[in-house]
Amino acid sequence: MTQDTDSLVNPDWWRNAVVYQVYPRSFSDLSGDGVGDLAGVIDKLGYLELLGVDAIWLSPIMRSPMADHGYDVSDPRDIDPLFGDLATFDQLIAEAHDRDIRVTMDLVPNHTSNQHAWFAAALAAGPGSPQRDRYIFRPGRGEHGEVPPNNWTSVFGGPAWSRIREADGSLGEWYLHLFAPAQPDLNWENPEVMADLEETMRFWLDRGIDGFRIDVAHGMAKAPGLPDLAAPAVILKHTDDDPRFNNDAVHDIHRRIRAVMDRYPGTANVGEVWVESPDEFAKYVRPDELHLGFNFALATAGFDVAAIRAAIDESLAAAGGVGAVPTWTLSNHDVVREVTRYRPEVTADAPLDEQENALGIGIARARAMALVELALPGTVFIYNGAELGLPNVDLPDEALVDPVWERSGHTERGRDGCRVPLPWEGDEAPYGFSANPHTWLPMPDDWGRFTVERQLEDVFSTLSLYRQAIELRYVRPEFSGPGVDWYQAPDGCLAFRRPGGLICALNTTNSPVPLPHGQILLVSLPLVDGMLAPNSAAWLV
């Protein structure tokens, strides 16, 4: 890192950062069990330094039976042996900090694992007990309590309630799980729940971490009285007025969380805030709540200039309205990778050259959008593998392990396709990810072309583009200032200017278009006759 603002002494680092999401299962496996681990992350810190990121976000690494791949936490104050141990985690923090890379980690406050000691105690203690009150247990409706307490469905499909057997073997109460049955929702009206989260936060902050990514930050508080859903909910989706999410009381929880963070200067939280309305989103990033909120506007916009421009304008307005820092992301471990989202539709049985052509367009568009997001003011989150231009993988049914696949009765394939391990080197799976050919998700046969090794040698690779873009974003003064001014641009194109002077132009059409005036800093594809190539973007000053 080259500027003072990038050194670890800057408490405001999160205001203008590039954060890299490590999905630990899929990043790098040093133990050889086919699943990535913390030693693997330590091993690749040099790569992350080369890429130039300010911080990493580690998806959950706490003790977990892995029913939802770590988002079901059985002990929030320990590392799962699959990933390593506390000593390895301490080493990771120290070595990352030595390289000026901050470490943030997932925190999962909405639910625990059903293997958490609290849940076992709740089952044992019986209805009406203080142990049960830490979760959301209710008697069933119907003559024999056989009907769930309300009509809520789980985000992963199926009912959001499961019925338990009481200690005497009889069918008993129901408990709420907005996700898998192995993820019982906590009762955030019980003060013990907040006290325990505070203890968990201090546990990790005292070890030197730099912040948290808060899972389901729009969850936790449920609508008073648990009213029925007005209409059936779609799997993996919800609206802002859904009684399961985005209830007012959640903001008090965020204020308590923020109060803990404020005792650790230089730390910051980013919340997973899946709400649709920019105004609702803004509430979560008021000055005494989350430092940052994930903004999924670009991840849902498609490769369409009107939608991209609206996403940028609305996000800037929402964050600006409450003095918050805008954030940008194109993908994460829950969504289809951008290369595949932007790729023209092509059937699996189409001729190979058609498929290759579509993939090429998907990669070109993803590269262009990388320049768009890295040109914007605020903080950018990059999902591991995006910098390699990885597509989603069409996995065979028998390889699918996301609980969504089972819960949806095999109607939704779930999120495994974006979680396939990263290819590092060589021409054969597992491409240096692991010494074990049996990786937790199988890796495609044709990923030799995407390896880090291959892309580091190629100045035109997607990895080289990301490296150059991130470096320019740091060193060039033109990337300064809030907001953007829009330029007139030909149909299917957009162009904006940062106050510091950076111009970003995007061409989503199939023809070359003239560039705005200026000196070129970076292009996502070579110019065509001096013009901006189809499906490409350029930075100018």
Residues marked as catalytic: 215, 272
Binding residues for ligand NOJ, total number by CB under 6 A = 9
> Under a CB-based contact definition with an 8 Å cutoff, are residues 507 and 526 in contact?
no
Report the residue number, 16 or 183, with the smaller CB distance to ligand NOJ.
183
- Is 215 a binder of ligand NOJ (CB under 6 A)? yes
Cβ at position 72, least distance to ligand NOJ in Å: 7
Helix (H, G, I), strand (E, B) or coil at 59: coil
Give me the 108-127 binding string for ligand NOJ, x by CB under 6 A, dash otherwise. Answer: x-------------------
Distance, in Å, from the CA atom of 292 to the CA atom of 16, rounded to the nearest integer, reads 11
Give me the 126-165 binding string for ligand NOJ, x by CB under 6 A, dash otherwise. Answer: ----------------------------------------
Helix (H, G, I), strand (E, B) or coil at 360: helix
Report the residue number, 332 or 536, with the smaller CB distance to ligand NOJ.
332
Q: What number of other Cβ atoms are within 10 A of residue 402's Cβ?
A: 23
- Closest residue to ligand NOJ, based on beta-carbon distance: 71
- Is 23 a binder of ligand NOJ (CB under 6 A)? no
Report the residue number, 13 or 212, with the smaller CB distance to ligand NOJ.
212
Q: What token pair was written down for 186?
A: 């906590």
- Is 334 a binder of ligand NOJ (CB under 6 A)? yes
The candidate with the shortest Cα–Cα distance to 156, out of 68, 222, 72, is: 68
- Is 216 a binder of ligand NOJ (CB under 6 A)? yes
Cβ at position 198, least distance to ligand NOJ in Å: 20
Cβ at position 218, least distance to ligand NOJ in Å: 10
Looking only at residues 52 through 91 of this chain, which bind ligand NOJ when binding is defined by CB under 6 A?
A: 68, 71
Burial of 460 (C-beta count, 10 Å sphere; 0-12/13-18/19+) = exposed
Among 179, 383, 433, 479, interactor with ligand NOJ by CB under 6 A: 179
Cβ at position 108, least distance to ligand NOJ in Å: 6
Looking only at residues 243 through 302 of this chain, which bind ligand NOJ when binding is defined by CB under 6 A?
A: 272
Report the residue number, 154 or 524, with the smaller CB distance to ligand NOJ.
154
Report the residue number, 96 or 217, with the smaller CB distance to ligand NOJ.
217
Cβ at position 304, least distance to ligand NOJ in Å: 25
Distance, in Å, from the CA atom of 483 to the CA atom of 165, rounded to the nearest integer, reads 56
Q: What secondary structure, in 3-state letters, does 358-372 show?
A: HHHHHHHHHHHHHHH
Report the residue number, 159 or 490, with the smaller CB distance to ligand NOJ.
159
The candidate with the shortest Cα–Cα distance to 82, out of 57, 65, 67, is: 65
Cβ at position 68, least distance to ligand NOJ in Å: 5
| Beta strands in 320-378, from DSSP E residues, in sequence order | 327-329
Distance, in Å, from the CA atom of 107 to the CA atom of 184, rounded to the nearest integer, reads 15
Give the orientation angle of helix 191-206 with respect to helix 250-262, to 10 degrees.
30
Q: Which amino acid is it at 136?
A: I
Cβ at position 202, least distance to ligand NOJ in Å: 22
The candidate with the shortest Cα–Cα distance to 342, out of 383, 304, 384, is: 304
Looking only at residues 471 through 530 of this chain, which bind ligand NOJ when binding is defined by CB under 6 A?
A: none
Helix (H, G, I), strand (E, B) or coil at 254: helix
Distance, in Å, from the CA atom of 490 to the CA atom of 499, rounded to the nearest integer, reads 22
Interface with ligand NOJ by CB under 6 A: which residues?
Answer: 68, 71, 108, 179, 215-216, 272, 333-334
